[in-house]
Amino acid sequence: MCLFGITAFSQTIGITSFATGFSSPTELTHAGDDRMFLVQQNGAIKIINPDGTVNPNNFLTLTSSKVNFAANERGLLGLAFHPNFANNGFFYVNYTRAGDAATAIERYSISANPNVADPASGAVLLTVAQPFNNHNGGTIKFGPDGYLYIGMGDGGSGGDPGNRAQNINENLGKMLRIDVDGAFPYAIPPDNPYVGIAGNDEIWAVGLRNPWKYSFDKSNGDLWIADVGQDAVEEINSVSGTAAGLNYGWKCYEGNSIYAAGCAQGSTTYTFPIRTLSHSTDNAGSITGGYVYNGTTYPNFIGRYFFTDLYYDKIGMIDSEGTLSFSQAFNNFGFITTFGEDVNGELYVVSADNGIVYKIIDTSLATDDFATSGLSLYPNPAASSFMIHNTKGVALKQIQLHDLTGKLLLQQQLQQSDNNTLNVDLLQNGVYLVSIEDVSGKSFTTKLLIN
């Protein structure tokens, strides 16, 4: 396991390797149980078990005859499990359709094997034509209201040349909202803002450029949208999940600034982001949105929204007021395409560079977590060796030692005994991070000084 970070808001954002071996990941989610499902752009959905192992058989495989993944922003992009999945077995995917390259939202069912979907059960609910091969959106989520939300980019080619995001008769550049429990293929929620008046009934919000990743805060239902920017800024929007008919401004505005002269209308109320990130000063280029932390393992993280950027190797975090902080740069971390949230509210990020799923951790709690589990290092500081005391009989698996840049320096299997000794006489003086993993996959982290 690797793990490293720096202090922010009195806590330290770190990452630790959780699962490996993936190709072009686009989504990571759960189905209401302790499994996680990783979506690959090439049409495969894989199951990750709680211990980080990956099932040998795909949960579902959509072939190239169905999915067009020939461009960077096309392919199998989204996955959402029905809130009643445990009983009805329904889940939904968002992909770029082979042939015409339209966005397709399709429903599938589980098979008799809970770890394998029925590939013959696919039923397309909705398609949206795509004029270009970028800004296709991709994320789908069920909101706290039970409706399916579909994030749609403006269609691409830069600058929204078709002025689609502000056109209420176009589904591009929007957040759509449909009722999948109504008559097939779907019903329109009666409180959607354009029901019974001009405008597409599926539209929930307008004025989005490319909401690649968005999520709902499990604690209060708020909707957080990370909208990918154009020339100068990325933006993070945070609104009540019940706020209908909002206009997020694109292409009249990029972030808080006018983008297209003469576009903004005085009679229109625009919703501006809680935070913008400058391409020139804020480690920003193409934002990858995440989640508000609602887990229990790291109390210092609760209520903070986590995000990153496709082109930078840091994790960002903001509070409800928009106060911003970044982690340090992580080694071999880049091209983060998605976050994930497990059933317990713990957070993950996935790198397309190396195909690794990382768990986000707070390393400032490591010493307390280490001690309360009955583990200790002695002596600390160490000279040529140190001993691990295991006073509570935790079933240990392995130990890893990293320097503060995240480089793995030592890895050793541990014996099931009260004490294990490790030799470090070849290491230079300094501070190191020690991570001990038990047989269930849980990790305990502390710091070691060698002098």
pLDDT digits (tens, 9 = 90+) for 261-293: 999 999 999 999 999 999 999 889 999 999 999
Beta bridge partners of 25: 40
Please choose, from the candidates 293, 356, 303, 305, the residue with its C-alpha nearest in 3D space to the C-alpha of residue 330: 356
Query: Is residue 48 domain-shared with residue 191, that is, in the same domain?
Result: yes
Distance CA 239, CA 216 (A): 10
The pLDDT value given to residue 199: 98
pLDDT at residue 10 above 90?
A: no
Query: Is residue 277 domain-shared with residue 326, that is, in the same domain?
Result: yes
The pLDDT value given to residue 322: 79
Query: Is residue 309 domain-shared with residue 437, that is, in the same domain?
Result: no
Query: Is residue 267 domain-shared with residue 180, that is, in the same domain?
Result: yes
The pLDDT value given to residue 402: 85
Question: In this structure, is the dihedral angle defined by the CA atoms of residues 360, 363, 368 and 370, taken in order, positive or negative?
Answer: positive
Query: Is residue 48 domain-shared with residue 131, that is, in the same domain?
Result: yes
Residue 158 sits in which domain range? Answer: 5-364
Asked whether 15 and 54 are in contact (CB, 8 A), the reply is: no
Query: Is residue 269 domain-shared with residue 388, that is, in the same domain?
Result: no
The pLDDT value given to residue 24: 96
Query: Is residue 352 domain-shared with residue 422, that is, in the same domain?
Result: no
Interior/surface letters 143-163, b for 16+ CB within 10 angstroms, e for the rest = beeebbbbbbbbbbeebbebe
Query: Is residue 100 domain-shared with residue 165, that is, in the same domain?
Result: yes
Pairwise pLDDT comparison (302 vs 221), residue with the higher score? 221
pLDDT at residue 259 above 90?
A: yes
Please choose, from the candidates 61, 76, 138, 133, the residue with its C-alpha nearest in 3D space to the C-alpha of residue 100: 133
For 358-383, the pLDDT digits (tens) are 999 887 755 556 777 788 888 877 88
Which domain-ending residue is among 364, 390, 411? 364
Interior/surface letters 31-66, b for 16+ CB within 10 angstroms, e for the rest = beeebbbbbbbbbbbbbbebebebeeebbbbbeeeb
Q: How many domains are there within the chain?
A: 2
Task: Report which DSSP code applies to 283.
Answer: S
pTM: 0.82
The pLDDT value given to residue 1: 35
